[in-house]
Amino acid sequence: MITAAALQHAITAADWEALRPIIWIAGGALAVLLFDLCLPRGAHRISSVLLGVTSLVWAGGFLVRNYHTPYAAFGGAFLSDGFSVVFQGAIVLATLLSLLFVYTFEERISSAGAVALLLWAASGAMLMTGAGNLLILFLGLELLSLALYALCGMASRRAAREAALKYLLLSSMASAVMLYGMVLLFGVTGSVNFSAFLAPPPGNPLYLVALGLFYVGVAFKLGLVPFHIWMPDVFEGAPLPVTAFMSVATKAGMLAVLARIIYVATPAGLANKVLLPIWVVAALSMIIGNLAALSQSNLKRLLAYSGIGQIGYIVAAFAGATALGLRYALFYLLAYLFMTLGAFAVIAALSDQADEGARLVSYAGLAHRRPMLAAAMSFFLIGLAGLPPTVGFMGKLLLLSSVLNAGYISLAVLLIVGTAISIYAYAKIIRVMYAPMRHEVVAGAMSATWPLPWIAIAICSVAVLGLGLYPLVPSAVLPLVK
Amino acid sequence: MAVGELSNYVTLSAVLFFLGVAGVILRRNPLVMLMGVELMLNASNLALVAFSRAWGSMVGHIFAFLVITVAAAEAAIGLAIIVVVFHRSARVDVDDVTILKG
Amino acid sequence: MLFWFLAVALIASAVAVVTAAKPVYSVIALLAHFVTLAVVYVSLSAEFLAVTQILVYSGAILILFLFVIALLSSGVDSFEVGPDRLPKLPMPALFALVITLVAIVFSAAHAFAHVLPVITPTSQLAVGSAAAFGSVATFGAMLFTSQLLPFEITALILMVAVIGVVVLAGDHATLTPPDHERLRAIRRREREAILREGEAS
C-alpha cells in the first residue's frame, strides 16, 4: 500500500517556508538552552530573554512575508493563510511581551528552561492556528498544554504547584473529551481533514454528538462560562509571565480553532444547531465573567475574570459566522492583547519575586507613590472597560456593529450590559489607586526592577492609543479552504 | 478472523470512556485521576482503530500512534508535578490542596 | 465470541482501575486493561499499534506510575488514600450500574448503527503481504510521507516533556516552604495600614 497517493505528498521547500516562523521559534528555544550551558550564571536571564526576543522578531518577519502568500503546506495539513498568519502574529506579540516579565520568576528557577518552554508553548499555539486536520490540531494543543503544565508548576510557592496540579488534571481531561469528539468526527466522515466536515453524511446524529464533545473541549480551554472555574485559581497561582502568556496566546490559538471550525467546517444545513451553543456560551461569559470580576481583591484573579468576559465578546462576534464578524473579532483580539498585557506589565513593574504585586491592597494610593504606573494602569483598565479614546472603545464599537449586522440584537444588548458591569469592576481599582493616602502603605513589593516591563508598558500604551485612533482592521483574513 | 459490527466497538469504547471520566471525577487520588485520563485516551484509541478498520484508512492508526506518544509525555509531566507537590507530605489527596479553593 | 470475551475483560479491568483501594492495584488493573486492548488491536488488524501499546504503555508509562508510587510511599509511614467521593457500593450494585451503562450506550450506538460504515471483511484486505493493512511497512511509509508533519511535531512534544520534567523536579535541594515569618509580617503591616486608612476617613 505504498501507493502513488502517498508519494504525491512530495514535500517541497514551499512547505517548510509556510512553517518557517514556527521552526524559528522552536529552534530559538533550543538556542536558549544551549547558550544557558555555555554562558556564566550571571548572564543567564539576559541571554535567555535576548535570544527569545530575537527568534520571535525573526519569526515575525517571516509572518509578514507569509501574509500575502497563502499556501496549504503538507497536503493541507498546515494552512498558512491570512487568517492563521494574523493569529500567529498575535501569539508572537503576546509571547514577546510575556518574555519581558521573565525576571519575576524566582531566582532558583532556570530562566532558560522557562523561556524555552514558553517558546515551545507558543509554537504549539501557532500550529493550532494553521491546523488543517485533526492530527495537527491535537498535537499543537498538546504541545501547548504540556508546556503550560510544567510552566505553571515552576514556583516554590505551594499554591502555584497546587494550581499546576489542578490545571493538569482538569485540562488533560478536557483534552481527552475533545479528542473523543475528534475521533467521532473521523468515524462519521472517514477523514481527518477539516474540509471533509463540510459534507457529513446527512441526518447523522453522531456528527452532532462529536461536535458537542469538541466544543466542550474548546470552551474549557478558552475558559468560557460553564467551564471557567479553573481559570482564576490557575491565573493566581501561576508565575506572572505564564499568566500573561495564558491570558492571550493560549486563547488566540484556541480562538483560531473555533473560528476555523465555524467558518470552514460547518455544513450550511447544520449552521443553526451549531451556532446556538456558541451564542449561549458567549452571552453567559460576558455577563458572569464581568459580574465575578466585581468582587476580586487580587489583580491576577480580576484579570482572569475580565479575560473570561473579553473572550466572550470575541466569541459573540463569531456567533454570526459573518466575514465582518471574523475581521472585527481579530481586531478586538489585538486590542485585548495590548490592553491585558499592558496591565500585566504594570503588575510586573510592581512585583518583587514573592509575587506580591498582584494584590489589590498594594495598589492603595499608588498614584501618590508611582504616578506613572498608576496612570498607565488606569489607561489600560479604561481600555478594557471599552471607553474612548482607547482601542478598547473602537474594538467594542466594531464588535457591536458586527453582532448587529449578523442580526443578533439580544446578544448586542447583553454585550452592552456586560460592558456596563465591567466599568464598575475597573473603576473600583482606579479609585483605590487614586484614593488619598495618609499613611505609607507597606508592601514588600515596589522595589526598583529591570527596565523590561517599562518597555512593555510603552509598547502597549502606544498601541492602545494608536489603534484606538487609527484602527487597522486586518483585511485578508478569510480562512483558506483546502 | 471474524470481526463484529462496528457499533459494538463504538459502544465498548464509549463505555470505557465513561469509566475513565468517572475515575477522574469521582476519585481524589491524583495518581488514580491520571490513570482515569489514560483510560479515556485508550478508549479514544480503541474507537480510532475500529473506525480506521471500517473506513480502510490507516490515518486512524497514525492518529492512535500520536495519541500514545502524547499520553507518554503527559504521564511524565503529570507524575513530575505530583511528585513535586506531594514529595514532602505523606498523603496523596487532592482534598488536602486547600490553599486554592475555587 | 472473542469480541465479547475481550469486552468483558476490558470493562472489568477499567472498573477495577477506578474502584481499587490502593493506587498500586489500579496500576495492575491498568496493565491488564492495556494488554487486553492490544489483543483487540490485533483482532482489528492493527498489528503495529498492538506492539506499540505493549511496549509504550505497559513497558514505559505503567513503570513510571509504579516508580512514583514507590517514591511517594518510601520514607513515610504508609501510603494513604484520602477520602474519595466514590460511594462505597456493594459489588452487586456496582455490577448492576455497569450493566445499565453498557445497555444505555449499546442501545444508543445501535440507533446510530445504520449511519456507521461497515467493517471491511478481512478477506478483502491484503493480509499476509508486506503491504497489508495495519502492517509496519504501510504504517512506516505513511508516517514518513503523507503524515510527516505530525511525526516531526512529536519530536517537539517529547522535548517539552524532557525539559519540563527536568525543570520541575531537577532542583530538589531548594524545595523549601515559603518564608512564613516574612509573609506574615507583611500581611500584618498591611492590615494595620488598612485599619489606619479606615480610621482616618
What does the block give as the cell for A324?
465582518
Q: What is the CA radius of gyration of chain B?
A: 17
Angle between helices A158-189 and A205-222 (to 10 degrees): 160
Q: Are B23 and B32 in contact (CB under 8 A)?
A: yes
Distance, in Å, from the CA atom of C72 to the CA atom of C184, rounded to the nearest integer, reads 31
So what's the pLDDT on residue A142? 96
Distance, in Å, from the CA atom of A218 to the CA atom of A175, rounded to the nearest integer, reads 9
Distance, in Å, from the CA atom of C90 to the CA atom of C99, rounded to the nearest integer, reads 15
Q: How far is CA B64 from CA A106, A275, C46, C174, in A?
A: 39, 30, 10, 40
Distance, in Å, from the CA atom of A115 to the CA atom of A99, rounded to the nearest integer, reads 7
Q: Are B48 and A135 in contact (CB under 8 A)?
A: no
| Residue in A closest to B33 by C-alpha | A169
Total count of residues recorded for chain C: 201
Find chain A residues with C-beta within 8 A of B27's C-beta. Answer: none
Of the candidates A123, A135, A356, the beta carbon closest to that of C150 is on A135
Asked if the structure places residue C10 within a domain, the reply is: yes
pLDDT band at C28 (very low <50, low <70, confident <90, very high): very high
Q: Are B67 and B44 in contact (CB under 8 A)?
A: yes
Distance, in Å, from the CA atom of A149 to the CA atom of A60, rounded to the nearest integer, reads 26
Q: How far is CA B96 from CA B29, B93, C82, in A?
A: 10, 6, 9
What does the block give as the cell for C12?
472489568
Note down the domain range covering C30: 1-76+129-148
Q: Write the CATH number of the domain with boundaries B6-96.
A: 1.10.287.3510
Interfacial A residues in 59-78 facing C (CB < 8 Å) = 73-75, 77-78
Which residue's entry shows cell 493566581? A236
The ipTM, to two decimals, is: 0.89
pLDDT (tens digit, 9 = 90+) per residue, A186-212? 988 888 988 888 777 666 778 888 888
Distance, in Å, from the CA atom of A223 to the CA atom of A174, rounded to the nearest integer, reads 11
Q: How far is CA C94 from CA B78, C86, C91, C98, C100, in A?
A: 29, 11, 5, 6, 10
Interfacial A residues in 120-179 facing B (CB < 8 Å) = 134-135, 138-139, 142, 146, 149-150, 153, 158-159, 161-166, 168-169, 172-173, 176-177, 179
Distance, in Å, from the CA atom of A226 to the CA atom of A223, rounded to the nearest integer, reads 8
DSSP state of A197: G
| Residue in A closest to C142 by C-alpha | A6
Residue B17 to residue A184, Cβ atoms within 8 A: no
Of the candidates A135, A149, A186, the beta carbon closest to that of B66 is on A135
Q: What is the pLDDT along chain B (102 residues), one digit of tens a residue?
A: 445 678 888 889 999 999 999 888 887 788 888 999 999 999 999 999 999 988 888 899 999 999 999 999 999 999 998 888 777 544 444 555 555 444
Q: Are C34 and B20 in contact (CB under 8 A)?
A: no
Find chain B residues with C-beta within 8 A of C117's C-beta. Answer: 6, 51, 54-55
pLDDT band at C144 (very low <50, low <70, confident <90, very high): confident
Q: Which of C70-74, C158-162, C165-169 has the lowest mean pLDDT?
A: C70-74
Asked if the structure places residue C199 within a domain, the reply is: no
DSSP state of A193: B
| φ, ψ of residue A359 in degrees (nearest 5) | -85, 140
Q: In angstroms, how far is CA C43 from the centroid of its own chain?
A: 23
Q: Is A131 helix (H, G, I), strand (E, B) or coil?
A: strand
Among candidates A31, A25, A61, which has minimal Cα distance to A48?
Answer: A31
| φ, ψ of residue B92 in degrees (nearest 5) | -115, 100
- CATH number for the domain harbouring residue C18: 1.20.120.1200
Q: Which helix (H) or strand (E) holds A73?
A: strand A71-73
Q: What number of CA atoms fall less than 13 Å from residue A402's CA on the CB side?
A: 26
Asked if the structure places residue C109 within a domain, the reply is: no
Instruction: Count up the domains in chain C and report the number.
Output: 1
Distance, in Å, from the CA atom of C201 to the CA atom of C89, rounded to the nearest integer, reads 60
Domain regions of chain B by residue span: 6-96
Given its phi and psi angles, is residue A76 left (phi above 0), alpha (psi -120 to 50 degrees) or beta?
left
What does the block give as the cell for C91?
459489588
pLDDT (tens digit, 9 = 90+) per residue, B71-100? 999 999 999 988 887 775 444 445 555 554
DSSP state of C118: P
pLDDT (tens digit, 9 = 90+) per residue, C36-52? 999 999 988 888 899 99
pLDDT (tens digit, 9 = 90+) per residue, C121-130? 555 555 555 5
Residue A439 to residue C200, Cβ atoms within 8 A: yes
Q: Are B62 and A135 in contact (CB under 8 A)?
A: yes
Residue B62 to residue C45, Cβ atoms within 8 A: no
So what's the pLDDT on residue C129? 57
What is the amino acid identity at position A144?
L
- Work out the minimum CA distance from C94 to partner chain A, whole angstroms: 24
B79 touching A, CB under 8 A?
no
Residue A139 to residue B70, Cβ atoms within 8 A: yes
Which residues, given as ranges, of chain A have pLDDT below 70? 1-9, 107-108, 201-203, 352-357, 437-450, 475-482
Q: In angstroms, how far is CA A86 from the centroid of its own chain?
A: 13
Distance, in Å, from the CA atom of A155 to the CA atom of A408, rounded to the nearest integer, reads 45
What is the amino acid identity at position A132?
G
Domain regions of chain A by residue span: 9-469
DSSP state of C59: I
Which residue's entry shows cell 509496519? C136
